[in-house]
Amino acid sequence: MWERTGKRKPRRKARTTRYERRKRRRMRYLTLTLFLLLSGGAGYAGMEGTLFLRETLPAEGSLEVHFIDVGQGDATLLISGREAMLIDAGENDQGTLVWNYLKKRGVGDEITLKYCVGTHPDSDHIGGMDVILNKFSVEHIFLSEYEKDTATYRDVLEAVEYYCVDRILPVVGERYTLGDAHFTVIAPNEEDYTDVNEASIGILMEHGSNRMLFMGDCGEQAEEDTLKNGIDLRDIDLYKASHHGSSTSSSQELMDTITPEYAVISAGEDNDYGHPHAEVMNRLRMAGVKVFRTDEQGSIVAESDGETLTFNCAPSESWLAGEKR
């Protein structure tokens, strides 16, 4: 299990081909999987859609954050105590994968799925949410008033109504508890955004002294509005990079304010959008942020004991941007 260490100057890497990156990734996961099997399966690893997960429940008093590899999309599971929260659920074809991931972590049995959050109506975020609502007894779901006339979004609304899930409209400043952690709604801050990404629900999760920021696909305008709402976003420990590492998000102003130690980028390998973009990777690198990437490392798991953060793998050292097609 990788733990935080002192900062070091990142080394410049030679650019590699997609084939070499894919081959290197598969060899890394094969080696890690063999290690896990020989050591009794402790820890976590993800390989080509197959999940190897430890069977024990999260440690008492801890907060686990699972950045699930759903390809080009978002799905983040947070577990504290016997309560869980799911922020987004990937594309329509990822619903079953997310369901299986949660089930293997004890969600639905020992752990209650207390909250679901659909950050915004794009299919790569809420496409699998109807499957989750169908498979688990969800207590509450956060959905903004920004709606989208698509079959995907209608499926989610119909599932919410059919299963009588309590729908919560996000109100900036409202606080909620999740096991031993608590979170605050920090976005959206306006009602008249014309871009669905800017209307994303933003959340500040706090566990002990650890602070984690999730902002969906918020762009620079939403980031600017969030920084003006009076909620203290300084000294963030873990930042879920907005919009899969797109250059439309993670502005320099936001980075200068939150000064994260770690960032996680959820993006699909060789995706058509070129995520993560070079501008964002350069900002993170210049700020000395340790970066984890689902497109290179599969599912990423962070664990907080209230003071420190540990991860299931070492940070990426490639600093490679995506290639837009």
**pTM of the predicted model as reported, rounded to 2 decimal places:** 0.84
- Rounded distance, CA 192 to CA 186, Å? 16
- Rounded distance, CA 125 to CA 166, Å? 20
* Banded pLDDT at 22 (limits 50, 70, 90): very low
Burial 44-63 (b: 16+ CB within 10 A, else e): bbbbeeebbbbeebbeeebb
Residue 42 lies inside a defined structural domain of this protein: no
Q: What is the pLDDT of residues 35-62, one digit of tens each?
A: 444 444 433 343 333 333 445 678 889 9
Looking at residue 310, what is its pLDDT? 98
The answer on pLDDT for 184 being more than 80 is yes
* Under 8 Å between Cβ of 320 and 15: yes
Residue 242 lies inside a defined structural domain of this protein: yes
* Banded pLDDT at 314 (limits 50, 70, 90): very high
Pairing of strands 181-187, 175-178: antiparallel
Domain that holds residue 288: 60-311
Question: In the sheet where 300-304 sits, what is the strand order?
Answer: 2-3, 309-311, 300-304, 63-67, 76-80, 83-87, 112-118, 140-143, 166-168
Residue 323 lies inside a defined structural domain of this protein: no
CATH of the domain at 96: 3.60.15.10
Q: What is the pLDDT of residues 195-241, one digit of tens each?
A: 999 999 999 999 999 999 999 999 999 999 999 999 999 999 999 99
Residues of the chain with pLDDT > 70, as a percent, come to: 82
- Which residues are 202's β-sheet partners? 187
Domain count, the chain: 1
* Under 8 Å between Cβ of 206 and 183: yes
* Banded pLDDT at 268 (limits 50, 70, 90): very high
Pairing of strands 50-53, 44-47: antiparallel
Write the single-letter amino acid at 324.
Answer: K
- Which residues are 50's β-sheet partners? 47
Residues of the chain with pLDDT > 90, as a percent, come to: 80
| Strand residue runs (E) in the chain | 2-3, 44-47, 50-53, 63-67, 76-80, 83-87, 112-118, 140-143, 166-168, 175-178, 181-187, 202-207, 210-214, 238-240, 262-265, 290-293, 300-304, 309-311
Residue 3 lies inside a defined structural domain of this protein: no
Residue 137 lies inside a defined structural domain of this protein: yes
Residue 53 lies inside a defined structural domain of this protein: no
- Rounded distance, CA 245 to CA 79, Å? 24
Residue 28 lies inside a defined structural domain of this protein: no
Residue 78 lies inside a defined structural domain of this protein: yes
- Rounded distance, CA 287 to CA 261, Å? 9
The answer on pLDDT for 152 being more than 80 is yes
* CB atoms inside a 10 Å sphere around CB 1: 12
* Banded pLDDT at 29 (limits 50, 70, 90): very low
